[in-house]
Structure 1
Amino acid sequence: MTTSHPPAAAAAPARGCPFASQPLSGHQTPTGCPVSQRAADFDPFEDGYQQDPPEYLRWAREQEPIFWSPKLGYWVVTRYEDIKAIFRDNITFSPSIALEKITPTGEEANAVLASYGFALNRTLVNEDEPAHMPRRRLLMEPFTPEALRHHEPLVRKLAREYVDRFIDDGHADLVDQMLWEVPLTVALHFLGVPEEDMDTLRKYSIAHTVNAWGRPKPEEQVAVAHAVGNFWQFAGQVLDKMRQDPSGPGWMRYGIRKQVEHPEVVTDSYLHSMMMAGIVAAHETTANATANAMKLLLQHPDTWREICEDPGLISNAVEECLRHNGSVAAWRRLVTKEVEVGGALLPAGSKLLIVTSSANHDSQQFADADLFDIRRDNASDHLTFGYGSHQCMGKNLARMEIQIFLEEFTRRLPHMRLAEQRFSYVPNTSFRGPEHLWVEWDPAQNPERRHPGLLDVRTPVRVGEPSRHAATRTLLVERATPAAEGVLRLRLVAPDGRALPRWTPGAHIDVECGGPELSRQYSLCGDPDHAQAWEIAVLREADGRGGSAWIHDRLKAGDRLRVRGPRNHFRLDEAARKLILIAGGIGITPVSAMARRARALGLDYQLHYSGRRRGAMALVEELSALHGDRLQLHVGDEGRRCDLAALLAQPEAATQVYACGPQRMLQALEAACAGWPEDALRIEHFASTVGTLDASREHAFEVELRDSGITVPVPADRTLLSALRAANVDIPSDCEEGLCGTCEVRVLGGEVDHRDLVLTRAERETQTRMMSCCSRARGGRLVLEL
């Protein structure tokens, strides 16, 4: 369900005060603003937050996207765009408190830690610039997809061995009997910990989480401190052992070798801190993520059955599990200078709890956000791994492990089901996963008893973010009816009759017109609140690229289509005081959905619809019935044309103008709105690209893919990354803003126009690497190692 968010001016009592709703609590923020009762009651250590953080904070996303928590002493941030902006700016929002104890410990516990020489220093998680990025870049290689593939055989071997132990029992606690142990073993191997030290380190790992993010009782703090102190000392001893032979495998030995080359970057204290923090980061988050994923999938039996029948869905299912119920609930940041976030003016020194699990359920970013949909097109936009320069380096190792675990379970135990139980969680603000996950099945139905060769089948694992081409769903054409001259209206439903994901006005779907190589985007034009069907209206374009002709000539009721989405880059601002909606020709499709939503919300709106002939204008009767006098038809051959200059002559406060139609109409609109406030006009072009370039300032170029033997043109209005994806070359990416380095490609020839914030000046001068999301060619051609 789409939520209407009130404008900040209406909800805040004064500039700089957060959104506040009645009743108030009597508390004040550090800036003297009132605190609502719900904000005052917020307690992340309560069972409600532990069980379901997004649901626990639904009220905040809808009413107070940032609020002051008197109990915690933190500002709590809950919406996607605010949290993404915080991640993006790691200067204003320092990560330095990410590992700070959220519950201060008493003097006795502090004395215990001091007795062990505990001195956890800066790590990649909580380090500021300028130290952070040089260290990150230096230590990145073991996390590349190529390097991670070397760990795949070990993960598969462990998964197979652990399932062997309980496959014939008919029941298991997946956490105790597999999901806690295997990721820890993988983590220790990844770090290069000697086999003889693994059991000791296993005992200590949970203590660090409780110490940093939990709320141990006073009587528990001393015991936790002893465990953390032992963990610290033993981690140092293991590191010293590695130094004696740094030539072996493992990330820590890699770091020791890099220390020899760059002692000023990779210091002793840094290695010791990362030895301890790395075990926790690589182990607990993956163990919890897999337990959360299995719990979620088994709570949705139809979805579980789908991935059992089609393992090709697993990689995207992993992303949706990470989004819907990830293992990282929240991170923390420190405000370094006065800044406004989500309507609240925050002074320097403010502490933030940024609840990424809440952001992952923000309906402004994810359509029908609470729906668990393994075909969700933008599932990998989740913030579970963070974003920008501090995103999780081990994300692809975690993805690989979860995929392999799901492959093993779906192949060998497709008849598995959840047992009756109440789920419990270790109380803390940031990391969550069930302490136990009891499942049961009938061993007599184990597929391998009937098909001995089953275990020889292996699904290729995908290391990295899944291709969006993998997120297709098959829909049935329930009706295909003329909507106007040359316009075909399709009503699409799920073949099994199940509800489809809800969507928001302005959203579109990608339709495979006979195959994935011919994919076209069409705006949804039905009722966003109707979950049983999606509707599109397709204009036959005589000079098109073949997609509309295929739909008109080939499709009929009863046929099946493969589609992706929905996605929305043309969102309606439901907080606007007034809407002026303008459509030309088939551009009415997204605009009609906006008008329907405005009517449902009771907003002040007017709808202007232009066309050459009434008979060629789709949806006219439906629009007239719904909108009455708010609809103005401008029909060319009837002598009624839309005078955009007159319509928009006077800018109107708090008014948004939305338009979709032919390019000439959109250019005229931009001229007519020249005197309006910035961002008052929002346009949807018929042709959509991933990039956001100013094409008038760019030039086209081509890239030769040396390994693939093909040449890909990159138009002036498209990024290299999107052009490669359009050519079905999958490049991993995350921020797509030149911040994170994930989309780096090797350059074999040509001169690069570097625009990223990752490479150093010296690295740029080598002309051997570039970030495909933002950098371009200075000349007309590049040669890439792809």
Structure 2
Amino acid sequence: MSNSSTMTALVHTLRHEAEGIMSVELRPWGDTVFAPFEAGSHIDLHLQNGLIRSYSLLNSPTDQGRYVVGILRDRKSRGGSEFIHTQLRVGTTLTISQPRNNFSLDENARHSVLVAGGIGITPIYCMFRQLLALGKSAELIYCARTRKEAALVEQISGLGAKVRFHFNDEKDTFPNLTTYLAGQPTDTHFYCCGPTPMLDAFESTCEALGYPHAHIERFAAAELPPAEDAQASYSVELKKTGKTLTVEPGLNLLDVLLEAGCDIDFSCREGVCGSCETKVLEGDIDHRDGVLTKAERAANTSMMVCVSGCKSRRLVLNI
């Protein structure tokens, strides 16, 4: 990974938030200064076992000198959340990234509806508090399997705001997003973070209800196969350096760029963190990420080079 955007943080506090969920408070180490962040932002943690994982910031953007993330001990962990829950200790240091935001909050919206599923509450909680602090009209819908697996319930209940909780075991059913989201003005902005089935349901519900302002953040990229017209091999022209590279069948664009000596930030290699977003000057992109919106994909002006490919024989990147 390019080191242009990393810094050192101290693990200051580990706190049990709910069943299977802990929060990690990070503070600057040495002469490090934490950059300010916007609601909806996330950071990468470079773990001592060599893995890099992205987590949303849940504390207020007005906080100075600390970042707080919430981490679910994933039953299908490939070593990230499992390591954090069992090996991370107060007083140790971690390399972290600067905050990035792929889930921007429109603070000028007339009304906002925020939907969280499980650990998806972490960015949503930050966004909801930010809107309330600004005196904006907002409501929260928080869904989880059980109350004991839901983090921040007490803090949210104390906000004195419009909040609807849906715990599957108490309601004896899964949430019906059509019921929860119907009846809003079309200029309302909707936000959702949670597991993939909820995000898919949220997107289709907003589309069916005619809501144009729907925003999501994914934990994991959808398993998207290459488009039928994706090229197995294509040339890549680097506009700034004048180099021309070839992506051969079976090769990954990011790896080809790194092999050629390009200085590109990257982290997840799964198309969800947004760190490798690269400006595209020419070419028809085969988008396979979980970051860009439908409109951004249609604009064809940037791509996540870690997972996406090309439908044309030639691609021109602003590198």
- Report the TM-score when normalising by structure 2: 0.73
- Residue number in structure 1 paired with 2:79: 546
Classify 1:519/1:656 alpha carbon distance in 2 versus 1 (closer, same or farther; 3 Å).
Answer: same
- Render the CA deviation track for 1:417-455: whole Å, top value 9, x for unaligned: xxxxxxxxxxxxxxxxxxxxxxxxxxxxxxxxxxxxxxx
Matched, 1:755 2:302: no
Matched, 1:618 2:151: yes
Classify 1:730/1:676 alpha carbon distance in 2 versus 1 (closer, same or farther; 3 Å).
Answer: farther
1:697 partner letter: A
Contact persistence 1:738–1:755 (CA under 8 A): no
Question: In 1, distance between residues paired with 2:27 and 2:197?
Answer: 35
Matched, 1:739 2:274: no
Contact persistence 2:277–2:304 (CA under 8 A): no
- Residue number in structure 1 paired with 2:170: 638
Classify 1:606/1:651 alpha carbon distance in 2 versus 1 (closer, same or farther; 3 Å).
Answer: closer
Matched, 1:582 2:115: yes
Alpha-carbon deviation of 1:546? 1.0
Classify 1:545/1:675 alpha carbon distance in 2 versus 1 (closer, same or farther; 3 Å).
Answer: same
- Residue number in structure 1 paired with 2:293: none
SS at match of 2:132: helix
Question: In 2, distance between residues paired with 1:700 and 1:605?
Answer: 45
- Render the CA deviation track for 1:716-765: whole Å, top value 9, x for unaligned: xxxx23x657x88753579934317xxxxxxxxxxxxx538xxxxxxxxx
- Residue number in structure 2 paired with 1:334: none
Classify 1:651/1:620 alpha carbon distance in 2 versus 1 (closer, same or farther; 3 Å).
Answer: closer
Residue number among 530, 548, 556 corresponding to 2:63 in the alignment: 530
- Aligned pairs for 1:277-676 within 5 A: 468-496=2-30, 500-514=34-48, 517-626=50-159, 628-639=160-171, 641-676=174-209
2:171 partner letter: G
Question: In 1, distance between residues paired with 2:210 and 2:52?
Answer: 36
Residue number among 678, 689, 697 corresponding to 2:227 in the alignment: 697
Question: In 2, distance between residues paired with 1:488 and 1:729?
Answer: 40
SS at match of 1:623: helix
Contact persistence 2:131–2:137 (CA under 8 A): yes
Classify 1:602/1:772 alpha carbon distance in 2 versus 1 (closer, same or farther; 3 Å).
Answer: closer
Question: In 1, distance between residues paired with 2:7 and 2:188?
Answer: 37
The aligned length equals 269
1:652 partner letter: P
2:262 partner letter: I
2:187 partner letter: A
Alpha-carbon deviation of 1:544? 2.2
1:635 partner letter: F
Question: In 2, distance between residues paired with 1:469 and 1:488?
Answer: 28
Question: In 2, distance between residues paired with 1:684 and 1:635?
Answer: 21
- Aligned pairs for 1:699-738 within 5 A: 714=252, 720-721=253-254, 731-732=262-263, 736-738=278-280
- Render the CA deviation track for 1:45-85: whole Å, top value 9, x for unaligned: xxxxxxxxxxxxxxxxxxxxxxxxxxxxxxxxxxxxxxxxx
Contact persistence 2:231–2:310 (CA under 8 A): no
Structure with greater proportional helix content: 1
Question: In 2, distance between residues paired with 1:652 and 1:564?
Answer: 38
- Render the CA deviation track for 1:140-174: whole Å, top value 9, x for unaligned: xxxxxxxxxxxxxxxxxxxxxxxxxxxxxxxxxxx
Alpha-carbon deviation of 1:643? 2.2
1:686 partner letter: F
Question: In 2, distance between residues paired with 1:647 and 1:538?
Answer: 27
Greater relative contact order structure (CA < 8 Å, 6+ sep): 2
Question: In 1, distance between residues paired with 2:53 and 2:110?
Answer: 34
- Residue number in structure 2 paired with 1:454: none
RMSD: 3.5
Question: In 2, distance between residues paired with 1:695 and 1:678?
Answer: 28
Question: In 1, distance between residues paired with 2:210 and 2:54?
Answer: 30
Question: In 2, distance between residues paired with 1:638 and 1:702?
Answer: 53
1:565 partner letter: Q
- Residue number in structure 2 paired with 1:74: none
Question: In 1, distance between residues paired with 2:168 and 2:85?
Answer: 26
Question: In 2, distance between residues paired with 1:609 and 1:476?
Answer: 31
Alpha-carbon deviation of 1:679? 3.9
Contact persistence 1:651–1:677 (CA under 8 A): no
Classify 1:700/1:646 alpha carbon distance in 2 versus 1 (closer, same or farther; 3 Å).
Answer: farther
Classify 1:518/1:601 alpha carbon distance in 2 versus 1 (closer, same or farther; 3 Å).
Answer: same
Classify 1:772/1:607 alpha carbon distance in 2 versus 1 (closer, same or farther; 3 Å).
Answer: closer
Alpha-carbon deviation of 1:674? 1.5
Question: In 2, distance between residues paired with 1:497 and 1:624?
Answer: 38
- Residue number in structure 2 paired with 1:776: 310
Structure 2 unaligned spans of 5+: 235-248, 265-275, 286-302, 314-319
Classify 1:772/1:501 alpha carbon distance in 2 versus 1 (closer, same or farther; 3 Å).
Answer: closer
SS at match of 1:468: coil
Percentage of matched positions with identical amino acids: 33
- Report the TM-score when normalising by structure 1: 0.31
Contact persistence 1:493–1:533 (CA under 8 A): yes
Classify 1:735/1:476 alpha carbon distance in 2 versus 1 (closer, same or farther; 3 Å).
Answer: closer
Question: In 2, distance between residues paired with 1:586 and 1:559?
Answer: 24
- Residue number in structure 2 paired with 1:226: none
Alpha-carbon deviation of 1:686? 0.6
Question: In 1, distance between residues paired with 2:304 and 2:148?
Answer: 46
Alpha-carbon deviation of 1:566? 0.4
Question: In 2, distance between residues paired with 1:728 and 1:562?
Answer: 24
Contact persistence 2:34–2:65 (CA under 8 A): yes
Alpha-carbon deviation of 1:650? 3.2
Classify 1:700/1:557 alpha carbon distance in 2 versus 1 (closer, same or farther; 3 Å).
Answer: farther
Classify 1:584/1:469 alpha carbon distance in 2 versus 1 (closer, same or farther; 3 Å).
Answer: same
Contact persistence 2:40–2:102 (CA under 8 A): yes
1:474 partner letter: T
SS at match of 2:8: strand
SS at match of 1:653: coil
Question: In 1, distance between residues paired with 2:260 and 2:82?
Answer: 27
Question: In 1, distance between residues paired with 2:211 and 2:226?
Answer: 20
Contact persistence 1:590–1:660 (CA under 8 A): yes
1:639 partner letter: K
- Render the CA deviation track for 1:189-208: whole Å, top value 9, x for unaligned: xxxxxxxxxxxxxxxxxxxx
Task: Flag the structure with larger Rg.
Answer: 1
2:7 partner letter: R
Alpha-carbon deviation of 1:473? 0.7
Alpha-carbon deviation of 1:499? 5.0
SS at match of 1:567: coil
Alpha-carbon deviation of 1:649? 2.6
Alpha-carbon deviation of 1:527? 1.3
